[in-house]
Amino acid sequence: MIPFLETLKINHPQIRVDNRSILDLHAQDIINSTGISEFDLLLGGPPCQAFSVFGNRKGIKDSRGMMIFEFLRITKDLKPKVFIMENVRGLLSMPFTKESKN
């Protein structure tokens, strides 16, 4: 198991942890595992290395950069009242459309 998940389980055993990749996760999985069908808040932070000024700045040409679209897919499907997506400032100056991938 991933170390931070082990720490989370030790400190908060009542919290359900699903450590599947977001590529394998669907909104219905989240609804089924939580028993919640309406979400007030969705909080996430897709990997930032592809956008960071301290990295190679490959954006969505980097597979980690494509994870933003997966976060948005889950957000669209869950339809929370509010969502917060944390990332790095470099994201603002990168091409952000799938068409810019080629």
Total residues found in the chain within this entry: 102
Q: 41 in helix, strand or coil?
A: strand
pLDDT band at 102 (very low <50, low <70, confident <90, very high): very low
* Catalytic-labelled residue, pool 30, 48, 50, 74: 48
95 is catalytic: no
Look at residue 101 and tell me whether its pLDDT is greater than 70: no
The string of pLDDT tens digits covering residues 55-68 is 888 888 899 989 99
Q: Give residue 20's pLDDT.
A: 86
pLDDT band at 96 (very low <50, low <70, confident <90, very high): low
Look at residue 97 and tell me whether its pLDDT is greater than 70: no
The string of pLDDT tens digits covering residues 35-89 is 999 999 999 988 888 888 888 888 888 999 899 999 999 999 999 999 999 988 8
Please, is 18 exposed, middle or buried when counting C-beta atoms within 10 Å of its C-beta (0-12, 13-18, 19+)?
exposed
Supply the pTM of this predicted model.
0.78
